[in-house]
Structures are given as structure tokens and as C-alpha cells.
Amino acid sequence: MIRVNKLGFLVVAGIFWTLSAQAQTAADSTKKTVKKYQARAPKTQPFGGSAFAASKQTTIRWLGFAGFFVNSRGTTFMVDPLLEGFDMPVLIDFPIAPKDVPRLDAVLVTHADNDHFSVPTNQDLKGVTRVYHSTVYVDSLMKNLGLPSVGHDIGDSFKFGPIRVKLTRADHAYQNAYPGMSKRRFRNEDACGFWIETPDGNIWATGDSRLTPSHLTMPTPDAIFFDFSDSEWHFTFDGAVKIANAYPNTPLLLCHWGSVDAPDFNPFNGDPEKLAKAIVNPGRIKVLAPGEPFTLSKLKKSTTK
Ligand SMILES: [Zn+2]
């Protein structure tokens, strides 16, 4: 999510700035405001065309923000790619530019917020992307942009190459809670997660969501694209810990953290060190640098539920 909290953040930041500016002027005009600590992603590992080549395995790369690139035995796709043009200051170098992406069999988008559905990125990927998949609502936005897109209901499945994807439930219709924010009445099914089955294991991209019972009763995934933002419209930190501990052996590929310069805006400020102290089996936390490869493998049967 982004819009309302960003506005709230700007208002609060503005008040804070005004007050602190007054205080500073009175006390010491040369003193600088100390910026709140913000966990930052490791240094980007850029990648290029060779990451899209034929392969005998499934390789996952975090793109920064909530984005991932997957090459599964030569079938390539991105989830929520944001590689340019964000409207807040960015802390990372993007690991690849859209113009350097040679081809994508699919782009999957979880919901319409601009940290997940990046209009400039998707427009610049249009020429190399075979098909875009999302919810029915986001599909309508994609069609307005002329993207080759397909909209799906929650629970529906689709395939490309050896990949089978099912839309999982999300609860992220925060817009309705803020009168005047949107003329449109948002529905939970406007946003989704993706359950992604590959030959080398199953990935769960949760999308942004409040915690629901269904998040704790999934089959055991072999990797989770893990959002641990402490935001009331996300899982909250405690809710993210519950998800992590419901699948206690699943690698957690951290996302939605370390990418945006917004120290007072919780949705972008997960801290991996705090997470490591809170969950079962913290060694499975993968603090990937943007672009760093992670090889997916199936969990041993004895460790699954
Ligand atoms: Zn988000």
C-alpha cells in the first residue's frame, strides 16, 4: 500500500519538520536533525541477459521493493517488477533496467499500488513480455495501457511453460477506510497473492495483505516472497512472524524493505535483524541483495506438513 499512508507520512513529516526547525532555530541553527535508523538492502548485484538464458534449475532474484525475477528452466517471469520511475526517493540501485530485459514469458502483478504495479516499468517491458497476469481490476488498468493482459478471479489458475500459478486471497482494500481517497469502492479481490508451482518447488508470493486465517493454512511452500512490514494494512510484524512460524522450514526471501528512503513509513521499513530475533529457525531468512541469485529447491518431505 502507499497512497494514504504516504500522505499521512508527508503531513506528519511536515509538522515534525516545522516543529524541529523552530526548535533548532531557537537552540542552535547549525545543528542537524538526526535521521531515524532505517535498515538498508545489501549492495545491488546487477544482472544482464545471461540471467534469462536456458537453465536446468530455478533461480530467483529479488529486484528491490516487492519485485522478483524468476528463471525456471528457461521460462522467465517477474512478479511486481518496479525498475524505474517511483515517486519517492529510492535507496537501492535497480539490478537491471527495463531496456536490458531481453524477454519475459509473463509478468504477474498482485495489486494496483504503484510499488507493485509500476506503470513506467510495465510500459517499458511491454515489447518483451508475452503476457501480463493479475486480478480482474488490475487487468482493466493494464488494458487501458495497451498491455497484453489477462484478469483472474481469486482461486483461478493459469499456466505458462512448466509454471502453474493460482491466485491466493488478499485483504488490502484500505482505500475504503479513507473517505475521499477514491471514488471507486475497492474489493478484496482487486488484490491477490500468487501460489507459483515450478519444477523445482513451490513459491508463495503473498502480495500485500492483512493477516487472514487462510495465510496460516496454506500447503507448505518451498520459498515465500516475505513481506514483514509492521503496517496495519499489511500482516503487521506479529502477523508476519505467525506466517513465518506456520511454515517453520520454508526459506523467507525478504521483500518490501530496505528500498525506499522513508524512515517514518512502516510499510517500507522491515528490519531483518528484528525478524531474526522473533521467528523459529532464523537461519532460513534470506537477506538477498537486489539481483543476487537464489536457487530454489524442494524442502525435504520430512520437513513439510
Ligand atoms: Zn506494497
Alpha carbon of 229 to ligand 1 centroid (Å): 9
The CATH number of the domain holding residue 50 is: 3.60.15.10
18-41 per-residue burial string, b: 16 or more CB within 10 A, e: under 16? eeeeeeeeeeeeeeeeeeeebbeb
The pLDDT of residue 93 is 98
The pLDDT of residue 2 is 47
Alpha carbon of 212 to ligand 1 centroid (Å): 17
Residue 161 located in a structural domain: yes
Alpha carbon of 65 to ligand 1 centroid (Å): 8
Residue 24 located in a structural domain: no
273 pLDDT tier (thresholds 50, 70, 90): very high
Locate the DSSP E strands across 73-199: 75-79, 106-108, 132-135, 149-152, 157-160, 163-169, 192-198
Alpha carbon of 222 to ligand 1 centroid (Å): 22
Residue 1 located in a structural domain: no
182 pLDDT tier (thresholds 50, 70, 90): confident
Q: Residue 11 above 80 pLDDT?
A: no
The pLDDT of residue 227 is 97
Residue 226 located in a structural domain: yes
Residue 88 located in a structural domain: yes
Number of domains in the chain: 1
Alpha carbon of 46 to ligand 1 centroid (Å): 23
Reading the block at residue 238, the C-alpha cell is 506479529
Residue 144 located in a structural domain: yes
Nearest-angstrom CA–CA distance, 116 and 121: 10
Nearest by Cα to 223 from 58, 75, 41: 58
pLDDT, tens only, 224-250: 999 999 999 999 999 999 999 999 999
Q: Residue 24 above 70 pLDDT?
A: no
Helix residue ranges per DSSP H, 97-197: 119-125, 136-144
Alpha carbon of 32 to ligand 1 centroid (Å): 31
Which domain, by its residues, includes 265?
A: 35-300
34 pLDDT tier (thresholds 50, 70, 90): confident
Reading the block at residue 162, the C-alpha cell is 512448466
- 180 or 132, greater pLDDT: 132
Residue 105 located in a structural domain: yes
Nearest-angstrom CA–CA distance, 291 and 96: 8
Nearest-angstrom CA–CA distance, 74 and 5: 39
Alpha carbon of 111 to ligand 1 centroid (Å): 9
- The total number of residues shown for the chain amounts to 305
Reading the block at residue 147, the C-alpha cell is 498491455
pLDDT, tens only, 113-137: 999 999 999 999 999 999 999 999 9
Residue 14 located in a structural domain: no
The structure's pTM equals 0.89
